Chain A
Amino acid sequence: MSLTEKTKIIEAKNLVKKYGELTAVDGISFHVNAGEFFGFLGPNGAGKTTTMKMIYGFSPVSQGELKIFGMSPQDDLRNIKRKIGVAPQDMSLDPDLTVIQNLQIFARYFDLTKEQTEKKCEELLNFFHLKEKATQPIDHLSGGMKRRLLVARALINDPEILILDEPTTGLDPQSRRVMWERLDDLKKKGVTILLTTHYMDEAEELCDRIVVIDYGKIIEEGNPKQLIQKHGVKNLEDLFLKLTGKGLRD
């Protein structure tokens, strides 16, 4: 898809997620255009991960409407998942397998052929500087390498939408820069990226558009630069604190 035609690739209307009594997501509406770099910001427990889980269908929607590629996760989950890559927050790499096996097994789940798998693994290991570690078990990797592998794995199926739940948490500044460069490359290729992060400089640097979520509700949305101007603050971090206050959430 080209970047100019503004296709709404994800569309949420009054989306609600309840876990028993707890309302984790409380009627949010937003859309993501194809090719956009979209950020979900918000304090701990705001409902960011929950929203992402609804998008890739792990968590059923309680109320409201959610369309991805124009399809509903309830009816077309398999077809949606074919075109999505997810790097989850909890770093769920497969510890029983080596680095390259982690990629190969995912390729298998996505029905890639042997040739496609080989080519893709080679490409991703290079792209994320993991070539030397290919045959190592996961617990031999540093935190930064694990995060990179997690994103590499999410790209195995050449997804149209890449969902990244805190991909840079725990990374040193160097690794974070490397990750930013990689994400920028992907954006240039036309991949739609959904990012959550607690690093406001990161969101400011990368995102075309953000939403700020608090207590399951969207409290602000727009382009980071424009929002900073609109609120007359120095940077996104100040804006974030202004919007969400200084109290702890968890």
Chain B
Amino acid sequence: MTESISWKYAFKVWYRDFLVWTRYWWTSLFGALGEPVLYFVGFGYGLGALIKEVEGVPYLEFLAPALICSAIMHSASFETTYSSYTRMEIQKTFHSIAMTPVSVREVVVGEILWGATKSLLSGGVMFAAIAIMGLVHSPMALFAIPVLIITALLFSSLGMLMTSFARDYDFFTYYITLGLEPMFIFSGTFFPTHSLPPLVQRLTWLLPLSHPISITRGLFSGKIVEGFWISLLWISVLTIAIFRWSIRRMENRLVV
């Protein structure tokens, strides 16, 4: 297939998913925000009462930006694994869209874009709530937005890559329990990674989630963190590579 991507058609697929979402958006946001709010209240206030300050900021402020990033990770991942897989295998939606002028590749791209968008919608609501609560101390926080967009695209693509390997839903359970959850814990969400043993610390650098967390956390208190550019470069390269790889694999899976 030498055919290139027409973004116009990819966005038609995006629109299909958006249209469906408008019918249950309230439940969807409620579901996506439930968990982070729980962590926020439980850990932020509960643990925050004991810890007071981490890296020079109150624990709640330390936690808030990280929870935005991990909420985006979770939401994007769920959308392009469980939901995309259902549309592909159970509902045959991919196949029926591919009977129209839209190509298989554009279907996959549209799905990835939608997964990213959906996660940014819940991430956006959290961002706003945290700002209203007065936990953002610098207008530099606005620079976090493009970083969050990359994060959304990264995990949306990674989810699609997993879907390209999946033969059943169990596969995603493994991906989430063995992949995403450890990443959630060890990427510096709840505690700074430098409190880990040096070797583990170095390994956490490889975890994609650790970068948006450290960058966003810095920006929220008006700082450009050490290694900002290299982190940004790493997640950007990773996003592009996984995006392309997932599309190629999905195409090979679908077009037989």
A residues in contact (CB < 8 Å) with B:
19, 56, 58-60, 77-78, 81-82, 84, 86, 88, 90, 92-97, 101, 105-106, 108-111, 157
Contacts and interface: CB of A to CB of B under 8 A. Distances in A.
Q: Which 4 A-B pairs have the closest CB atoms?
A: A92-B92, A109-B100, A92-B96, A96-B20
B16 interface: yes
Interface string B194-207: 00000000000000
Contacts of B19: 97, 101, 105
11 contacts: A19-B256, A92-B92, A92-B93, A94-B16, A94-B91, A94-B93, A97-B20, A108-B15, A108-B16, A109-B97, A109-B100
B256 A59 contact: yes
Contact of B99 (A19, A58, A96, A111): A58
A58 B101 contact: no
Contact of A96 (B91, B101, B255): B91
A105 B16 contact: yes
Contacts of B15: 105, 108
B8 to A, nearest CB: 9
A84 B96 CA distance: 13
Contacts of A19: 256
Contacts of B20: 96-97
Contacts of A97: 19-20
A56 B99 CA distance: 7
A106 B93 contact: no
B98 interface: yes
Contacts of A77: 3, 103
B238 interface: no
Interface string B5-19: 000010010011001
A90 B100 contact: no
B93 to A, nearest CB: 6
A97 B96 CA distance: 14
Interface in B70-120: 91-93, 95-104
Interface of A is mostly: loop
Contacts of B99: 56, 58, 81, 84, 86, 88
Nearest to A82: B101
Contacts, number: 62
Contacts of A78: 3, 101, 103
A81 B106 CA distance: 14
B91 A90 contact: no
B26 to A, nearest CB: 16
Which of A56, A59, A78: most chain B CB closer than 10 A?
A: A78
B101 A110 contact: yes
Contact of B255 (A56, A59, A84, A109): A59
B101 A95 contact: no
B92 A106 contact: no
Contacts of B101: 78, 81-82, 109-111
Contacts of A106: 100
A109 B91 contact: no
A94 B186 CA distance: 40
A136 B255 CA distance: 32
A77 B93 CA distance: 19
Contacts of A105: 15-16, 19
Contacts of B102: 109
Given A96-B20, A96-B91, A97-B19, A58 B103 contact: no
A32 to B, nearest CB: 18
Contact of B95 (A88, A96, A157): A88
Contacts of A58: 95, 98-99, 104, 255
Contacts of A82: 101
Most A CB contacts (10 A, CB to CB) among B12, B16, B23 go to B16
A93 B16 CA distance: 13
A86 B98 CA distance: 10
A88 B96 contact: yes
A108 B12 contact: yes
Nearest to A98: B23
Given A58-B255, A59-B255, 12 more contacts: A60-B255, A82-B101, A92-B93, A92-B96, A96-B20, A96-B91, A108-B12, A109-B9, A109-B97, A109-B100, A109-B102, A111-B101
A180 B136 CA distance: 66
B126 to A, nearest CB: 26
Contacts of A109: 9, 12, 97, 100-102
A58 B255 CA distance: 6
Nearest to A107: B100
A209 B104 CA distance: 32
B9 A90 contact: no
